[in-house]
Amino acid sequence: MSIKRRACIAGAYEHPLRLAPDKTVAQLHAECAKGALEDAGLTLQDVDGYFCAGDAPGLGAVNMVDYLGLQARHVDSTETGGSSYLVHVSHAAQAIAAGKCNVALITLAGRPRSEGSSGLVPRASSAATPDVPYELPYGPLTLNMYAMVAARHMHEFGTTSEQLAWIKVAAAAHAQHNPHAMLRAPVTVEDVMNSPLLSDPLRRHDCCVVSDGGGALLVVRPEIARSLKRPVVQVLGAGEAVKGQRNGQVDLSYSGAVVSGPLAFEEAGVKPSDIQYASIYDSFTITVLMQLEDLGFCKKGEGGRFVADGNLISGVGKLPFNTDGGGLCNNHPANRGGITKVIEAVRQLRGEAHPKVQVPNCTLALAQGTGGQLGSRHGSATLILEREA
């Protein structure tokens, strides 16, 4: 069953806080839900579907449905890390198309900055997780797993650190217009190259911020979206995938977007060259480059040249990306930036991005998320969204 134009995103909200030491995770979820409902012009009583992932406290949907006081007849707690919330948009659209719910609420929230989280220590993992006994003795960290992927890409295709730096430069060029962004100062390629080397070849400016906060989305039936006083943003296509180690036969030069991207484009009936704006998951600069290649915006191995010389800067290059500053400069709530990618894509399609970065007459946008680690196993999700004429 295709979800093409079977559901719309009617509400989108990004929590303004980047540090929230006096709030609970459940409270942040609730504040994000409130913001999305107000954005759409709906109430909690209208919500009959709820979607969350591993950032939600307790039993996830069970606890949050009760905490929010929802009367949900459909819930989904699919967990694919930072890509979960793009998967949730797809699953919500599927549920709406199947008649399981009419108004689906998706929330994300967390406090990693308040809790001192970083990518410099091993993630907490249960010994029962099948990969742990084989990988943990070698000390895999979020940072060095992505550095390994960057090093492989450089070795195989000649990608340079200066080319990766252009991704940070573009994100910073956009973040200066976002009053909520953690890092608002513009940077140059030289600034990136002069920042401390953390895990060869990645430098500090190649890494995303760590922030508290969150976001929420409302996915609704098209007739409901058209009854609201908001521009109608339709779900045009979606794809999801999981890339793993395949018993050691893994190629580090590509991401799960090689599967999720074509699925989304096929369902939407469009091609990469049709996309006017792209929200690309940016946990690290190498994450962006890899996904752009795998989504088909350029050929494999040509990502370095594609991102260079301001090609991702709105009003300058051919493919404006992450016009809120992304995870590299704006925020990365709960160490899971997927929902913010959808939120900024919705802003662009509504014409509500900052005037300095708004893509003129933006009618077709892509949001791409990853969850996990490119160097080991991760989820990938792709959404193509369209503003209804």
Query: pLDDT digit string (tens) for 33-60?
Result: 999 999 999 999 999 999 999 999 999 9
Query: What's the rounded Cα separation, in Å, for the pair 223 and 317?
Result: 36
Distance, CA of 355 to chain centre: 22
CA distance linking residue 199 with residue 176, whole number of Å: 27
SS3 label, residue 149:
helix
Up-side HSE of residue 296: CA atoms within 13 Å toward CB? Answer: 17
Residue 352 and residue 14 in contact, taking contact as beta carbons nearer than 8 Å:
no
How high is the pLDDT of residue 134? 80
- The list of the chain residues with pLDDT below 50 reads none
Q: What pLDDT was estimated at residue 120?
A: 60
> Position 266: which residue type?
E
Assessment of whether the complete model's pTM goes beyond 0.85: yes
* pLDDT 10s digits, 208-233: 999 999 999 999 999 999 999 999 99
Strand residues in the chain grouped as ranges (E):
8-14, 49-51, 74-76, 103-110, 197-199, 202-203, 213-220, 233-243, 277-280, 364-372, 378-387
